[in-house]
Amino acid sequence: MQPTVENQKIPVSIEKDERLIIGHMKQFFSNKLALAGTILVAFFVLLAIFAPFIAPYGLNEQIMANRLQPPSGEHWFGTDDFGRDIFSRVVYGARISLWVGFLSVLGSMIVGTLLGVIAGYFGKWIDIIISRIFDIMLAFPSILLAIAVVAILRPSLENALLAIAIINIPTFGRLVRSKVLSVKEEEYVLAARSVGMKHSRILLLHIFPNSLSPIIVQATLAIGTAIIEAAALGFLGLGAKAPAPEWGKMLADARSFLVQAPWTLIFPGIAIMLTVLGFNLMGDGLRDTLDPKMKDTR
């Protein structure tokens, strides 16, 4: 008895896959901007991991006699209005910002991808309902929608993370849906359907793997956006609460000292800018590597 297509194993050349991966890596790291972005992201990730060993002072160590001291050899980024070392707080703040960025994007990516795959593959009324939900969510400015979600749930860092995840779901959903609509018309998918392969296997073996590249690129770019959104919510008092060293909260606390002690505002702002820049440069590099057509249209 001849094995069906569903039960056959498609031979895969491991050597060919390795060459493809190595080729992508060489192309990615040959892009100087992408390399610079990767270095920035790696720097802040290492900063977050080794914060207790890098920070010269405790997270909330207060020395009121040293309040609002300018940058010096003792306090590299100066001190705030409570005499806390700003460099130490910026270093610890990397943990909060990256944690919010990674987890919120992971949540929105999982939910958005699932909904996008279902809408694009099955179509009909399922697609109409999911697409209209996405349209309604995208009709609101993202930060206003996030504020509404946090206001309903109660201001906190965890609820800010949840709000950021929710507002980014339509971005992933629409991206994946458009990719699935294209992939499902490919000959190998039509052949799998014609021999009776189950929908679940088609989605797992054919649709999802061939829709992965834009998801990776969008996730990288979305982390930078999530960090900005978390900082915005923290600045508005809807995110992390004192004394957490969240960068947006640090900016909000420093507003009163913009003229008297501008360093309290400058260094957290630079940390946000460099982190977001790193993820954006890395995302652009991944886009050029994984989807060369995008390079031609830019």
CB atoms within 10 A of CB 273: 11
pLDDT by residue (tens digit) across 161-196?
A: 999 999 999 999 999 998 888 887 777 777 777 777
Q: Enter the pTM of the model.
A: 0.84
**Is the Cβ–Cβ distance between 213 and 287 less than 8 Å?**
no
Structural domains of the chain ordered from first start = 29-61+74-297 (1.10.3720.10)
CA distance 167 to 137: 7
Dihedral angle over CA of 181, 187, 189, 191, nearest 10: 150
The mean-pLDDT minimum among 30-34, 151-155, 281-285, 291-295 falls in 291-295
Count CA within 13 A, CB hemisphere, residue 256: 5
